[in-house]
Amino acid sequence: MFDLLTQDRWTFALRGVLALLFGAVILFANLTLTTLALLFGLFATFNGLLSLLVAFRSRGSNLRWWMPLLEGGAGLLTGALTFFWPNLTNTVLMYLIAFWAVEIGIMEVVAAVELQQQMENKWLLTTGGAVSIVGSVLMYVFSATGIWLVGVYAVLFGALLLGLFTSLTMPALSPRYVEITRSIDR
């Protein structure tokens, strides 16, 4: 499972940057609901395609390749729904985004539990999963007025993905790496 994360870690960086940009646009631009739906559709579709890429690249070498496959399928389905019906009501759009976020959150928590022994900074996955699940509940509860919640969620989600990318790319930032290096230097 850990090799599934590290093999295509660049996708975390790309997804993180896109989520930050998406969140910033929602929070600081005055968008129509149709524009917001199309932007989210683009974001969910791109996120889904990256997850499918990870799934198919790891299909023969990893038993958990189906997890990014599910995540990618949910992204493509959610993106397609927003493209086919861009004039969604605010409530329906929030429900779609909440559905997508809860699926992402569940997958991240499952991955964190599975990687308990292998991963140094599993808290990034756990926190990302919790933010996604709590965010989706809040989006559902405040579906009529909570578009700003989507922006806040996207910014938090993006920051956690960039943190995960950094953690997987730069082991020198890992507490275990620092501890091992200090013991070698003695």
In a domain, 55, yes or no: yes
In whole angstroms, give the CA distance from residue 53 to residue 107: 16
- pTM score of the predicted model: 0.76
What is the helix (H) or strand (E) element at residue 136, kind and residue range? helix 122-141
| Positive/negative CA dihedral, 39, 42, 44, 47 | negative
Structural domain including 112 reads: 2-181
Number of domains forming the structure of the chain: 1
CB-based contacts of 168, cutoff 8 Å, min separation 6: 5, 6, 9, 12
pLDDT in tens, 66-93: 888 888 999 999 899 988 887 877 788 8
In whole angstroms, give the CA distance from residue 122 to residue 126: 6
In a domain, 186, yes or no: no
Confidence check: pLDDT of 20 > 60: yes
Average pLDDT over the chain, rounded to an integer: 81
pLDDT-derived band at 5 (thresholds 50, 70, 90) equals low
Structure tokens at 56: 């198919």
What pLDDT is stored for residue 93 in this prediction? 85
pLDDT in tens, 31-46: 888 888 889 999 999 9
What backbone torsions phi and psi does residue 22 show, to the nearest 5 degrees?
-60, -45
What pLDDT is stored for residue 179 in this prediction? 52
